[in-house]
Amino acid sequence: MFRFAIFALVLSAAMAQVANVNAAARDGATIVDSGSTNTAGYRIEVWSDGTASIVMQNRAGVAQNAARPFSVATRVTARFFADLKGAKAANVTGSPCMKSASFGTTTRVSWHGWTSPDLDCPSENALLSAVIRDVNLIRAASGIDSMPGVHRGAGSGGPIRAEPPSPSPAASPPKR
């Protein structure tokens, strides 16, 4: 009987250790879009195992519906968390950008105590551009692009390129 009790105790401790290792291996980040006067905002929770959920929220951050689960491709989540790690380690900063008073939103990622700069502003920084690309892929996986009245993210869900836009052609002088 004593041997059985010791075996049960050791087995229980081993199972607890495995549970702790599995729990520690799962990482998570939060993507929050503020919404604007004319568009809804949302909060996306993303986990390193590819599970995620989205909830619509008002400008005060109050949930407007129940969280809806969705999945993100494993390669996207792996790259997303690697890119977050790089951006956090480099203490990446962004630059403010011009936004519409009625439709301008702010999108940020929070991860391990770090909050990204506004991802709705174009960036010349390759690390930040990588995070923007990942967030746009996660937004697409959430189905947010097909919801009416919702902010689509930088470039309407498309990735922002790190290079500056090409210059406009010179206007020809008016004919007399």
Pair of tokens at residue 61: 């951050």
Q: What is the pLDDT of residues 117-158, one digit of tens each?
A: 999 888 889 999 999 999 999 999 999 876 655 555 554 333
Fold adopted by 25-95+102-149: Mago nashi protein (3.30.1560)
| Residue 99 pLDDT level (bands cut at 50, 70, 90) | confident
| Residue 165 pLDDT level (bands cut at 50, 70, 90) | very low
Q: How confident is the model over 101-111, as a mean pLDDT? A: 86
Ranges of each domain in the chain: 25-95+102-149
Q: Measure the CA–CA gap between 129 and 137, rounded to whole angstroms.
A: 13
Say which residues have a Cβ less than 8 Å from residue 43's Cβ, sequence separation at least 6.
30, 31, 32, 33, 54, 55, 57, 61, 63
User: Would you say the pTM of this structure is higher than 0.75?
Assistant: no
Residue 62 pLDDT > 90: no
